[in-house]
Structure 1
Amino acid sequence: MLRNAERIDDSQLRNATLDSFLNPNTCIRHRIHVTDAVKSQIISTLIAQNLVNPADAASITGGVKAGVFPPVINDGSACPTLPMTFRATPGSNFGGHHSYPGGLAVHESFNDQSSINFADTYRGEYGVVGRQGLPIATGIIRDRDDADVNINQDVVLAAPIWHDWAKMMVFQWNADGTEFTELNFGGTGTNDNFGAAGDSRTGGHHIISIAETMARGLSPLLVITQASAHSAPTLGNEFKVVNWLRAAAILAQIDPVAKGYLVMDNGQLRLPPLAQLGSGTDLDKAGQGNVLVEYQIHNLSDADFVNSIPAVTTVQVLLAQVAPQFGYDASDVSRYNNFFRNVVLSNLSPERLMMIYDKRGIEEFVEEIRKLKHLHLI
């Protein structure tokens, strides 16, 4: 991730992206001077604009407010800071993909590399021309100057890193080795499609991360690409991305239209048409389309959960079965999670263990875990 982030050309985006995961004392911009009174006002606005359903917070201690504003260090001050380091953060809810300490780094690095590969494949398949000036499909290209279509590499590199940034707040660890419960918001789940039937609710980490990039003044191209992780704004799904941007703007306390993240089109908020010029955007020279290929590339790159969720689901069952061989009992939840499950998954990963189990069987699965026993890690 460090290597990829350092390749971002735009200095503002590069420095902000490096700061986001390397600096444990980074200021959470969208939480600066956000007092309890301000939180209440923001929650009221989200509810009034049908961007949160209070019933969805029924299982969260502290309700909607705790789900939208997870506890942070120096809350409400001029520089609130993150409650967890990047290295300690899981990649999703407990039992979900990459749900172990360090899982966020694995998830983001995998997605970032996927984003790079997808962009190079798009360039190779659709952006290389032959002698007659017509496109020829060459597959993945490594020299991006060979392509005559503009795919913004800075955004390709940065969006997957920023997308899950708020997981350092949302998925804090409980004492028993489980995690905080995440609030889904960004809609009510009923008439979210510009008033028609639709459900735009999504994981709170997604919207909170967008609020942070907005608060840091990052470009519309980066922010909208980031917002497309959970759904590209295609095939009738533009309303989802629009609602996520609306909700994030409320958290960041900014006007999304004035900042160029949305436009008003015949009385309806829509995604803006953005020119792809260099490493940034220029709204004075906007292109025609409002759905850019960067959005779809980022959405594709975030799809590792298709493999990672089944992997962790299966491996958790296997770990509980073999745990007695290593002196652990899954019914002793705190000891099992903190000293066996989370340690095994952090060091070996569910994906690797699943591949070993699938191809070599349970005995090799156990032998892989024995490596940690020999190293006195379990």
Structure 2
Amino acid sequence: MSQMERRDFLRFGLAAGAVVAASTLPKKAQAAYTRICVDEVRAMTPQAMAEQSGLVMSGWDSLHASANTIRNPKIRATVLDIMAKPAPTLMQRIGSSEKKEIWKELTAKGLLKDVALKDFLPPAKSASAEPQPFYSAPGSGYGSHHSYPGGLVTHTDLNTRVSMALYEGYREVYDYLLDRDVVIASQLLHDLHKPWVFQWQKNGESRGEMKLGGTGEHHPLGVAESIVRGLPAEVCVAQACAHNHPRTPEDEAKVVGWITAAAIIAGVDPVKRGLLEPGGKTLPMPRRQEGFVCHLGDHDWILTVPAAQWTIPVMKTIAERDYNIKSDDAKGFNSLRNYVFSQATIMGLYEIYAAKGEQELTRTVHSIVTPA
């Protein structure tokens, strides 16, 4: 085995040149693997990278465990179905003429700005087939937080844990009983259409994201999908609050805009569906607070965005110096960083970098992919 510290070994499930017996490791490291070379990394698909990662697959198990605690059988079944198959079923009603009309209405209402019709909505080969598995999608745009295969899983797992901790805290301190099913379902689904929006490209990057309602398009599209899939209004409203809380009129107007955009895309009346108060200016009254918990839970990015911004440049240095990957070889670098990040996570690597410096980070990267 390499000179990796036991702490690193247990975290990543690595063995330099030798497969380790998975049964001897904690659950997160049970997907043991051998150190591989750059050529092997170049040949791997994002899905294969995610499936190779003990951390991603452990997170995937954790998300299913959380979903299975949802008490309402219909909500539980729908959440599990979306996780298993995040297909853009909302596209079933959107042909070319419908797409143009939706685009025109969103533009007229100021919810879509500077987006050409041809760029509106991510590409979808089928409304019944997911562009990629939930577990292989990145957690954000390329270069931002969790921008690696499986990043959506680790991001959602952390956010769900935070939301449940908030739920338990308010219950224990105030005897305040939020709707537990809504808290879990809204957080598990808050990024449900990132597999559609952030499709992996041939150069190893993920697709760029358009703006919709002043936020990333994945957000209103995800709410629209939940509406189309028949989830209760309470879940859809809480999910819509992930990117902001309705504390002030200005903040609430943003959430109302996302729900309005989602309803237009889904082809429903948001008031009749119980998504907005009559008149369409506020959330249903009195306002429930599960959405606030969903919003607070979706703050993993506070730590992970800067961690990504500080780790990626160091990875570029390591790639050029130790793997002979030139600065103009985007595919080569993206393959290397996607694989390393998927196996160790950006947060795991940044912790090593912050605590022990670049030399230790380099050694850890070498233990995952053999230097050239």
- Tell whether the 8 Å contact from 1:39 to 1:65 is kept in structure 2 after alignment: no
* Among 321, 326, 331, the residue aligned to 1:329: 326
Give the residue type in structure 2 aligned to 1:262. Answer: L
Q: Report the Cα distance in structure 1 between the residues aligned to 2:185 and 2:99, rounded to whole angstroms.
A: 29
Structure 1 residue aligned with 2:140 = 92
1:301 and 2:353 matched: no
| 8 A contact 1:64–1:183 mirrored in 2 | no
Shift of the 321–2 alpha-carbon distance from structure 1 to 2, 3 Å rule, reads same
Say if 2:87 and 2:131, in contact at 8 Å, map to a contact too: no
Partner residue in 2 for 1:232: 245
Contact 1:211 1:248 in 2 (8 A): yes
Can you list the C-alpha shifts for 1:34-63, whole angstroms capped at 9, x where unaligned? 21111001111111222111x2x3xxxxx3
Paired residue secondary structure (2:93) = coil
Is the 8 Å Cα contact of residues 213 and 223 (structure 1) preserved in structure 2?
A: yes
Shift of 1:326: 2.8
User: Percent same amino acid among aligned pairs?
Assistant: 31
Judging by fraction of residues, say which structure has more helix. Answer: 2
Match of 1:41 among 97, 101, 108: 101
Q: 2:227 aligns with which of 187, 205, 214?
A: 214
Q: Residue 41 of structure 2 aligns with which residue?
A: none
Q: Distance in 2 between matches of 1:256 and 1:293?
A: 19
Structure 1 residue 27: Cα displacement: 4.9
- Alignment-derived partner of residue 246 in structure 1: 260
Partner of 1:137: none
Whole-Å separation in 2 of the counterparts to 1:330 and 1:318: 13
Equivalent residue for 2:78? 16
The runs of 5 or more residues in structure 1 that have no matched partner are: 58-62, 128-148, 187-200, 274-288
Higher relative contact order (CA 8 A, sep 6+): 2
Using the alignment, how far apart are the partners of 2:177 and 2:140 within structure 1?
Answer: 33
Q: Which runs of 4+ in 1 moved over 2 A?
A: 26-29, 63-67, 326-331
Give the deviation of 1:244 after TM superposition. 0.5
Preserved contact between residue 210 and residue 217 of structure 2 (Cα < 8 Å): yes
How far 1:109 sits from its partner (Å)? Answer: 0.8
Partner of 2:124: 72
1:174 corresponds to 2:206 = no
Residue 34 to residue 225, structure 1, CA distance change in 2 (3 Å): same
Rounded to whole Å, the distance in 2 between the matches of 1:40 and 1:166 is 21
Separation of aligned partners in 1, 2:88 and 2:352: 40
Q: TM-score, normalised by structure 2?
A: 0.79
Task: Report the Cα distance in structure 2 between the residues aligned to 1:121 and 1:334, rounded to whole angstroms.
Answer: 46
1:228 Cα deviation (Å)? 0.4
Alignment length, in residue pairs?
308
SS in 2 for 1:73: coil
Give the RMSD, CA atoms, in angstroms.
1.6
Residues 100 and 117 in structure 2, CA contact (< 8 A), matched pair in contact too = no
1:313 aligns with 2:309: yes
